[in-house]
Every structure is written in C-alpha cells, then in structure tokens.
Amino acid sequence: MKIVPVTETISIKRSIDSGTEEQRAAVQSILSDVRKNGDAAVLTYTKKFDGADLDQLRVKEDEIAEAYENMDGEIISIIREAIQNIRSFHEKQVRNSWMMTDESGTILGQKMTPLDSAGVYVPGGTAAYPSSVLMNVIPAKTAGVKRIVMATPPNENGKIPSAVLVAANEAGVSEIYKTGGAQAIAALAYGTESIRPVDKIVGPGNIYVALAKREVFGDVDIDMIAGPSEIAVLADATAKANEVAADLLSQAEHDMRACSVLVTESRELAEETSKEVQKQLESLPRKEIAQKAIDDYGVIYLTQSLQESIEVINSIAPEHLEIMTEEPMELLGQIRNAGAIFLGRYSSEPVGDYFAGPNHVLPTNGTARFSSPLNVDDFMKKSSIISYSRKALEENAEKIAAFARLEGLEAHARAVEERFKKE
Amino acid sequence: MKIVPVTETISIKRSIDSGTEEQRAAVQSILSDVRKNGDAAVLTYTKKFDGADLDQLRVKEDEIAEAYENMDGEIISIIREAIQNIRSFHEKQVRNSWMMTDESGTILGQKMTPLDSAGVYVPGGTAAYPSSVLMNVIPAKTAGVKRIVMATPPNENGKIPSAVLVAANEAGVSEIYKTGGAQAIAALAYGTESIRPVDKIVGPGNIYVALAKREVFGDVDIDMIAGPSEIAVLADATAKANEVAADLLSQAEHDMRACSVLVTESRELAEETSKEVQKQLESLPRKEIAQKAIDDYGVIYLTQSLQESIEVINSIAPEHLEIMTEEPMELLGQIRNAGAIFLGRYSSEPVGDYFAGPNHVLPTNGTARFSSPLNVDDFMKKSSIISYSRKALEENAEKIAAFARLEGLEAHARAVEERFKKE
C-alpha cells in the first residue's frame, strides 16, 4: 500500500458510479413497461435477465421448507443468534410518541407511526448474503411495519439461495418475490397484479437497481444509494500491523472499488502494515479483487500527530472507522463523521457485519457527514400533534393574526378570528 | 366546492411540477458555472435574475441593525415569542447518545452528533416569510449545528426584507448571503470564495431551486422537495361550516395549486361548507388565487361513516389534517398518514404555521405515508458504536467466522481470527 504524508488538505479517491445514458434509458423503459404491463413485464424481464422461466413470482411455503432442509443446523442457529443481537440493538432505538401539555389546555406532541409497508431488495449473483436480509428486515420489523416484502432475483432454475430464504423467514418477511433489477424496484414501487406496492424500498443492488431507486424516489421512499465499502483505521504505535492489515483486507475483498485507508502518526506501523497487507493478500481466495482495490483505492496517510489523524478521519467521513489507539474510548467525542465506529483491537470490523447488533447498512462516500446507519427511525414517520384549547387560542389569536398579516396572508388571520366572531 | 360521494377508491388530484427540459438544462449550466467561477458567477446571476448589482454577497452587520429599525417593536416581540414556542417544542426532540453494556465488556450504542453546518434557503419575491426562516433555522440550531448559513435573493436595490433579516438574526443564523435560485444552491453545496460549503440544504423555493437541490443531493443532504400546500379537514356534523370553510381557504390562498379537501359523513356540513367557502372567498384580498385553487383542487368527499372518512384521510396522507369531530382525540390512534394533525375547533391550521411550536415544514403530496415534519433529527447524524472486549470476541469469533464463510468472505473470517493467532 502506498504511504502518503499528509500535507494540507487530503482528497480521498472514491468510486462513484452514476450510470451511463444507456443504463438510464434502459431503466426508464423497464419502469414504464412494468407500470403498464405488470406481472407479464416482470416475468419477461426475469426470463431475459435471470434466465428463469417462472409462472409465479411469489415464493411458496414449500420452497421455504425445502430451504431449511438444505441448511446446516449450526448455521441456522448462528443466524438466530445474530437476529437476537440485531433485534436487541434495534429495539433500543424505538421511540415513543410524546406530548407536552400546559395549563391553558394546549397539547403539542409527536406521534410515531410505523410505515404501513416496506420492500427489501436483496441482490442475487453468485454469493448469497443472508446478513443483508437481516440488516434490512429487522429494523423495519422492530419499527412495527406490518407488511415486509422481499424481492430477489432467482437463478436460472428459478431458485433463491436457501440461506436467503431462511434468513428472510427467520427475520419476519411476510412475502418473498423472485424478481431482481429495475423490474423488481418498479413492482415494489407501483405494484403489479401479484405484488402490492410498498411505502419504502431499501437494500443494496447493482447500478440498474440504484438508478431505478432514484427514479421511483418521491412516489415511495428509498434508503441511500450505497457506494463501494470503505474502512478507515485510525491507529497509533500501539496497534498491531497484522490486525490492521487483516481489517483493511476485509473491506478490500468486497469489491475492486472498495476503499481501505490507514491513518497513523507512526511511520513504523505504516510501513509494517503495508508489508502485512501484501503478505496476507497472497493467500486470500478473493486475492484478485482485494489486490485491485488496495492498488487503486488503498492508502496509508502518515500524519504528524494523533490530533491531525482525527482531523483526517473527520474529513474522510468513512463508512467504517476502527480506532486502534491506546485509549480509543477517549477519542470518541472527537469523531464527528463516521458511519460505524469500532473501538479497540477486539472490535474488528466483521464483528459489525454479521453479529454484534448494530446495522451494517452504513453511509458511504463521505455521506456520514450528514447521514446515518439504517435504523428504526427509517421505518417510522412522525406526525405533529397540535391541540389548542379555546383559552389558548383566545390568548394568542391576535398575535397569530398579526404574524399572518405580516406575511400578507389574510385568510390565515381570518381563520383564527372566525372562531370568535359569531359567539 | 364540488361534493363527491366516496365510492370505492378515491384518487386525489394534486399538482407536481417536475420541471421542463429547458429548466433542467438551465439549472445544470448554472451549477457548473458556479462550481467553476465561484463568486463571479453568483454575482452575474444575481444581476441577471434579481436585477441587483452587488459587490459583496454577505449581508453586513449594519444592514441587520437597519432592519431592526424598520420593524415594528410589537412584531419583533411576536417573533420572539414564536421563537420561544418553536424552540421549546424542538428541544423535546433532542436525543441523547446511548449505549448498552453487557458483562462480557461489550459496549454497543449510537452516538448522536449535530451536522457541522446547514444552509437555509429563503425564497424572495413580493412577500417576506419570516416564519419560514424560523421553522428551518430553529431545528438546526436546537440540534447543535454550529454554522447556519442563510441564502435569499435580494430585490433590485440589493436589499433583503427587514422581517427576514430580523427573524434570521433572532433565530441564530451565523451568515446571510444575498443570492437566490439555482446559483444559491450551487454556492451552498460547492462553496465559492466567499461562501464555504454546507453539509445540508433546507428550505422551500421555486422550480429552479427544487431542481438544483435534486442535482446536488448526495454531495450534500437536502430536505424534501415540497409541493403546494394541502389541507384535509375530517369533520362530523358537530363541526361549524364557517370555521371549516375559513380553514380550507387559509390553505387555498397560498397557491393556485394548493389543495383543500373536506371529508365528512354529514351531507349538511358538506353543503353548508361549500356555500361558506364561496361566501368567504368574496372578500379575500387573495381571492383570485384562492378561487382558482378551490376550483381546480378543492373537493368535499361525502362518506357513509366516520370510519370511512378516516380511511379516506389515511389514503390521502395530507400535509395538514384538521379533525373537527365530537371527540377528536379518540381518533388520533387511527390516523396513520398525516404531516401535522390539528385536533378540535380551536386548533385552526394557521396556529401551526407561525406560533404553536411544531414545524410548518411538512410532507406534501402523499409523502406523509413515509416522511415527517422537519425536525431536530434532520440536523443530526447517528454513528454506531461497537466496542468488543477480548472475552466477547473470543466467545463469538467462531460464529462470526462461520457467518463470513457462509457468504464467501474469507478475509472477513481471517480478520477476526488474526486476533488470536499469534498469542
């Protein structure tokens, strides 16, 4: 990995794919086709893109039963334990509706209400990602969303990976459909004969899925559009190079565009980590991917001090941040921008990917400056509550009317005055 | 107003302006010009679109002092009282960082951090909207955002309305710039020589502002893109037609595309309200606007029962909902979709526009199905905290590694195992 001394401002290289004109046009045409032709269009695209000739989109009960038979019992119990951990973390996020009252009889408050429905997209491809199912479904379930719909592309035999089906069933998905890509997003947003529309669509996907989500946004809500995975390690001389290297590689193996960064004031750690990365890379099954990511997006920033390292981290606003310093907890208050913060050497990033409980759906590409990990709030909406008593309105009517007239809105002023006119 | 009996599904007419090709192209070109040429571009557009020949964008201290001199003292004290009310409601929304611990030494939690900076756009035009300043600035201020920047177009003499300057100063804006339209959004998102970029842009605006916000989204955060104002009144036979009508008109006067709806099972109320609307319209200064809105988007839905009325309301998901029934509080639990809920006859909608405390920036166009009034959360981000002890990692290492290998991610498994390898 290249070592770069930090001078004034750092500018980190990240990959953003906003799609080509052709891809946008393809997505537009799929969306309008599905809106017009419903299931027929979805089935046609599923044949065309996934090679599967289906006669129904919805996964049947016996397919789920079969998935359980295919799964190792130990893995099922690990999935269940992960669900418990994830649920218990997300349950802590649930907020009560609240109100404030005063002696004039006024009641003001916020009513918290779960969304009626949510759609979770799960990407297909060669690997199965049950953890992605858990991380997207459990916050919705915990928020109280009654109808949670999953869509995922089938393989050419019309099958969904067993681990995905089992994870969905365990996490509490109500309906599962075999459809992927822009056609799945269109079906979730606008509905077809067999899929009722949802209020919000979450979950990662390829560029077609991302473009389709952008297009339907506004008609339904979406989560963020995720970029490639990122890790930044903030370390001092007490960190172990082999551990830092292993964690940098755990992100690099995700994607050739994944971004792994070490920020340290220790030249020795920088140099050793660089060597360790190369050494550990050699024996990785996904070596090619990880090597390319490290070559293109990997960097070690060498700073003058821990304080400067912290500033570099805040300016990167990484998706995952590991703090491997002598007293990691002491630095927490200085970290302003990071999706998830892993403290200390035993908090290796993969701990958060599957198991600990916090969500692994995190803001990428510097958006941790203003956005948050997927959480229960994302599946709830707030409504303001305003209940004025006669007394409260009487006391304030003149002031409200004066404010309205200041803004030139006479009907606003009169609406308040109308209450006291005829009595 | 036309009275429509509810049959099966209702489909409410709303206006959505997504801009023309020409408008999109104009916005694109302004954005790239400002990115490239900074202040010079902003000043040129301000001359071109607002007719103001400025030599500096930032509002000076003495302009603010002058604004105070131009304002009526009583209005200033009403603004201050409104600020108190708005602040006290928003302070209740502030969330603490939290953590959960267990006996193995694990700490999990969420760290709540205010955004570093926020930009508030305030539209120009003939009327001044100090309430919009308050409603956008106070949640940011309450969240703890240190740098709050306001942008608003000047008139052709290079002036900003006094009420807007006073409201901004009272609410705690740190910097005010004389710039509007897409050029203001570009400056806030990307920065110029005199305006440092912000992390999030909020506030209403015309179609150029809306299109520009959509374009910069991702580089910075934005609030929702607001449509025309909407009110739905849910009323039974106990409601007073004159009050219902006055409230319907208070929204209709905003915009020719504003949407005013009454939903009731009382034919008598429906008919009387329709007459009252026409009667009250006659003497309104903004009669022409209100009449057009009522004609084009106004409707009274006549239902069979209160229960059916509630279902109609939930399917409309109105921005503002007034409940004028015998026992409004009893219905609260059944309302799933509404931006702000006004309960009882003394909770006229304008109470919430200026004064009561809840935010008047609300989800329009049915988006109350999944989004919320502007609130303190919109100016904070959450970071997950994960701190595993050696013991906790030891206990769970095998399970985490097994889950990682299930997903084909060997480097993830090894990162965890690396901790225990050399000791």
Q: Could you report the per-residue pLDDT of B397-412, keeping only the tens digit for each?
A: 999 998 899 888 999 9
A297 annotated as ligand-binding: no
How many residues are listed for chain B in this entry?
423
Q: Bridge-partner residues for A3, per DSSP?
A: A300
Q: Inter-chain contact A392–B346, Cβ cutoff 8 Å?
A: yes
Measure A48 CA to nearest chain B CA, in Å. 26
Q: Span B95-113, mean pLDDT?
A: 95
Arithmetic mean of pLDDT, A47-76: 95
Query: Which tokens hold the place of A181?
Result: 């890509």
Taking contacts as CB-CB distances below 8 angstroms, the residues of chain B near A382 are 372-373, 375
Give the distance from residue A232's alpha carbon to the nearest chain B alpha carbon, in angstroms. Answer: 14
Instruction: Spell out which residues of chain A touch residue B115, defining contact as CB-CB under 8 Å.
Output: 369-370
Catalytic residues of A: 319-320
pLDDT at B11: 72
Look at phi and psi of residue A181 and say left if phi exceeds 0, alpha if psi is from -120 to 50, else beta. left
- Mean per-residue pLDDT for A269-281? 97
Distance CA A205, CA A182 (A): 10
Residue in B225, B370, B410 nearest the CB of A285: B410
- In chain A, residues with a C-beta closer than 8 Å to the C-beta of B242 are 418, 421-422
User: Tell me, what's the pLDDT at A125?
Assistant: 73
Q: What is the three-class DSSP state of A52?
A: coil
- In A355-408, which ranges are continuous DSSP H helix? 390-406
Residue-wise DSSP of B135-186: HHHHHHHHHT-SEEEEEE---TTS---HHHHHHHHHHT-SEEEE--HHHHHH
The structure tokens listed for B421 are 């390898």
DSSP A174: S
* Among candidates A242, A290, A386 on the partner chain, residue whose Cβ is nearest the Cβ of B347: A386
Closest-CA residue of B relative to A218 is B367
Q: Of A164-168, B74-78, B147-151, which range is least confident?
A: B74-78
pLDDT-derived band at A51, boundaries 50, 70, 90: very high
Give me the mean pLDDT over the B107-131 stretch.
92
Contacts of B264 by beta carbon, 8 Å cutoff, 6+ apart: B233, B234, B235, B236, B237, B239, B270, B273, B300, B301, B302, B303, B309
Res B341 pLDDT > 80: yes
Residue B423 has pLDDT above 60, yes or no: no
Cβ-defined contact of B407 to A348 (cutoff 8 Å): no
- What is the mean predicted confidence (pLDDT) over B219-240? 92
* The pLDDT of residue B80: 95
Q: In the predicted model, is pLDDT for residue A128 greater than 80?
A: no
E strand or H helix that includes residue A235: strand A230-235
Gap from A304 CA to chain B (nearest CA, Å)? 24
- Statement: residue A10 has pLDDT above 80: no
What is the Cα–Cα distance from A334 to A327, expressed in whole angstroms?
13
Q: Identify the CA nearest to A342 among candidates A234, A260, A416, A419.
A: A234
The amino acid at residue B22 is E
The answer on pLDDT for B256 being more than 70 is yes
Amino acid at A155: N
Quick count: other Cβ atoms within 10 Å of Cβ A190?
A: 18
Residue among A213, A175, A180 at smallest CA distance from A196: A175
Please answer yes or no on whether B404 and A353 come within 8 Å at the CB atom: yes
- For residues A272 and A266, what is the distance between their CA atoms, to the nearest angstrom? 10
Is the predicted pLDDT of residue A168 greater than 80, yes or no?
yes
A-chain residue closest to B94, CA distance: A95
Using the predicted structure, report yes or no on whether residue B114 has a pLDDT greater than 90: yes
Q: Is B332 on the interface with A (CB under 8 A)?
A: yes
Is B221 marked as a binding-site residue? Answer: no
Of B380, B374, B358, B361, the closest CA to residue B145 belongs to B380
- Strand, coil or helix: B300: strand
What tokens were used for A42?
A: 């979805």
Q: Which residue of B has its CA nearest to A412?
A: B250
Half-sphere exposure of A374 toward its Cβ, with a 13 Å CA cutoff?
Answer: 31
Chain A residues in contact with B377 by the CB 8 A cut-off are 377
Q: Which of residues 90-129 of A touch B (CB under 8 A)?
A: 92-93, 95, 98, 100, 106-108, 110-111, 113, 115-116, 126-129
Shortest Cα distance from A288 to chain B (angstroms)? 12
If 0-12 CB within 10 Å is exposed, 13-18 middle and 19+ buried, where does residue A193 land? exposed
Percent of chain B with pLDDT over 70: 99
Hey, CA dihedral for B134, B140, B146, B150, is it positive or negative?
negative
Rounded to the nearest integer, the mean pLDDT of chain A is 94
pLDDT higher than threshold 70 for residue B9 = no
Q: Tell me the average pLDDT across A107-124.
A: 96
- Segment A263-271 shows an average pLDDT of 97
Interchain pair A351, B290: CB under 8 A: no
Q: Is B223 part of the contact surface with chain A (CB cutoff 8 Å)?
A: no
Q: Does residue B226 have a pLDDT over 70?
A: yes
Q: Which amino acid is at B58?
A: R
Q: Is the C-alpha dihedral spanning A36, A37, A43, A48 positive or negative?
A: negative
| Contact (CB, 8 A) for B349 and B131 | no
Segment B113-134 shows an average pLDDT of 90
Model confidence at B124, pLDDT cuts 50, 70, 90, reads confident
Cα–Cα distance measured from residue A201 to residue A213, given in angstroms and rounded to the nearest whole number:
8
Specify the residue for token string 């269109």.
Answer: A186
Q: Pairing between strand B3-5 and B380-387?
A: unpaired
CB-nearest partner of A404 from B341, B354, B416 = B354
User: Cα(B146)–Cα(B132) distance, rounded to whole angstroms?
Assistant: 20
Confidence of residue A8 (pLDDT cuts 50, 70, 90): low
Amino acid of residue B405 = R
Q: Which of A51, A350, A415, A46 is nearest to B281 (CA)?
A: A415
Give how far A147 is from chain B: nearest CA, Å: 14
For chain A, state the CA radius of gyration.
Answer: 25
Q: How far apart are CA A350 and CA A363, in angstroms?
A: 17
d(CA B297, CA B249): 12
- Answer yes or no: is B93 a known binding residue: no
ipTM value, please give it: 0.93
Say how many C-beta atoms besides its own lie within 10 A of residue B161's C-beta: 22
Contact at CB, A396 and B200, closer than 8 angstroms: no
Q: Is B82 on the interface with A (CB under 8 A)?
A: yes
B407 is in an annotated binding site: yes
CB A174 within 8 A of CB A149: yes
The SS3 of residue B8 is coil
Average pLDDT for residues A85-109, to the nearest whole number?
95
Interface residue B177 vs chain A (CB under 8 A)? no
| Residue bearing the bigger pLDDT, A381 or B354 | A381
Chain B hits for A348, Cβ within 8 Å: 388, 393, 415-416, 418-419
DSSP run (H or E) holding A175: strand A175-178
Name which of A267-276, A347-356, B257-266, B371-380 the model is least confident about.
A347-356
| Contact between B239 and B330 (Cβ < 8 Å) | no
- The per-residue DSSP string of A255-303 comes to -TT-EEEEEES-HHHHHHHHHHHHHHHTT-TTHHHHHHHHHHH-EEEE-
Which residue out of A406, A421, A422 would a mutagenesis test of the B interface target, given it has the greatest number of B Cβ atoms within 10 Å? A406
Of the pLDDT bands very low, low, confident and very high (cuts 50, 70, 90), residue B414 is very high
Q: What would the pLDDT profile of B292-323 be if each residue is shown by its tens digit?
A: 999 999 999 999 999 999 999 999 999 999 99
Band (pLDDT 50/70/90 cuts) for residue B224 is confident
Separation of alpha carbons B35 and B21, rounded Å: 21
* Chain B residue numbers touching A246 (CB-CB < 8 A): 411, 414-415, 418
On whether any CB of chain B is under 8 Å from the CB of A381, the answer is yes
Instruction: Grade residue B146 by pLDDT with cuts at 50, 70 and 90.
Output: very high
Quickly tell me which residue has 């309200």 as its tokens.
B273
Choice between B125 and A28, residue whose per-residue pLDDT is larger: A28
Enter the DSSP assignment of B211.
Answer: H
- Say how far apart CA A263 and CA A271 lie, in whole Å: 12
Whole-number Å distance between alpha carbons of A322 and A341: 6
Write out the catalytic residue numbers of B.
319-320
pLDDT(B233) > 90:
yes
A349 in B contact zone (CB under 8 Å): yes
pLDDT at B7: 77
Segment A40-55 shows an average pLDDT of 96
pLDDT at A19: 86
A115–B403 C-beta distance less than 8 A? no
Q: Is B408 exposed, middle or buried (0-12, 13-18, 19+ CB in 10 A)?
A: middle
Domains of chain A: 3-13+227-356 (3.40.50.1980), 21-222 (3.40.50.1980), 388-421 (no CATH)
For B258, other C-beta atoms within 10 Å of its C-beta total 29
Q: Decide: residue A63, CB within 10 A, 0-12 exposed, 13-18 middle, 19+ buried.
A: middle
Name which of A18, A283, A334, A383 to mutate to probe chain B: the one with the most chain B Cβ atoms within 10 A of its Cβ.
Answer: A383
B345 with A89: Cβ contact below 8 A: no
Residue B318: closest CA among chain A residues belongs to which residue?
A383
What's the confidence (pLDDT) of residue A355? 87
CB atoms within 10 A of CB A156: 10
Interface test with A, best of B71, B327, B385, B422 (most A CBs within 10 A): B385
Would you state the pLDDT for residue B72? 92
Please write down the long-range contacts of A70-73, taking CB distance under 8 Å and 24 or more positions apart: A70/A162, A71/A162, A71/A163, A71/A166
Contact yes or no for A57/A158 (Cβ under 8 A): no
- Which residues of chain A neighbour B338 with C-beta distances below 8 Å? 383
Sign of CA dihedral A71, A77, A79, A80: positive
Pairing outcome for strands A98-101 and A340-343? unpaired
Q: Answer whether B116 sits within 8 Å of A199, measured CB to CB.
A: no
Distance CA B302, CA B64 (A): 51
Dist. CA B339–CA B237, nearest whole Å: 24
**End-to-end CA distance of chain B, in Å?**
81
Q: Does B360 count as an annotated binding residue?
A: no
User: Which of helix, strand or coil describes residue B112?
Assistant: strand
What value does the mean pLDDT take over residues A337-357?
A: 94
CB contact under 8 A, B415 and A286: no
Q: What is the residue-averaged pLDDT of chain B?
A: 94
Closest-CA distance, A364 to chain B, in angstroms, reads: 10
Distance from CA of A334 to the nearest CA of B (A): 10
**What pLDDT is attached to residue A9?**
67
Cβ within 8 Å of residue A22, ≥6 positions away: none
Stretch A250-257: mean pLDDT, rounded? 93
- Tell me the C-alpha distance between A101 and A118, whole Å: 34
Q: Do A403 and B354 touch (CB under 8 A)?
A: yes
Q: Is the CB of residue A369 less than 8 Å away from at least one CB of chain B?
A: yes
Work out the percent of chain A whose per-residue pLDDT is above 90: 87
The pLDDT, as a whole number, for residue A422 is 63
Residue of B nearest to A377 (CA): B377
Report CA A338 to chain centroid distance, whole Å: 14
B380-387/B107-114 β-pairing:
antiparallel
pLDDT at A302: 96
Which residue of chain A is at minimal alpha-carbon distance from B368?
Answer: A381
Q: In this complex, do B409 and A385 lie within 8 Å of one another by their Cβ atoms?
A: no
Element (H, E) at A99: strand A98-101
- The answer to whether B221 contacts chain A (CB < 8 Å) is yes
Instruction: Return the structure tokens found at B21.
Output: 């090709």
Which strands form B107-114's sheet, in the order they lie side by side? A3-5, A299-302, A259-264, A230-235, A320-324, A340-343, B380-387, B107-114, B98-101
Q: In this structure, is the dihedral angle defined by the CA atoms of residues A5, A10, A11 and A14, taken in order, positive or negative?
A: positive
Examine the pLDDT at A266 and tell me if it is beyond 90. yes
What confidence tens digit (pLDDT) does each residue in B56-92 have? 999 999 999 999 999 999 999 999 999 999 999 999 9
H or E element: which one contains A177? strand A175-178
Query: For the residues B244-249, what does the mean pLDDT come to?
Result: 97
pLDDT > 90? residue B8: no
Q: In the 8-state DSSP scheme, what is residue A60?
A: P
Give A130 to chain B, closest Cα distance, Å: 8
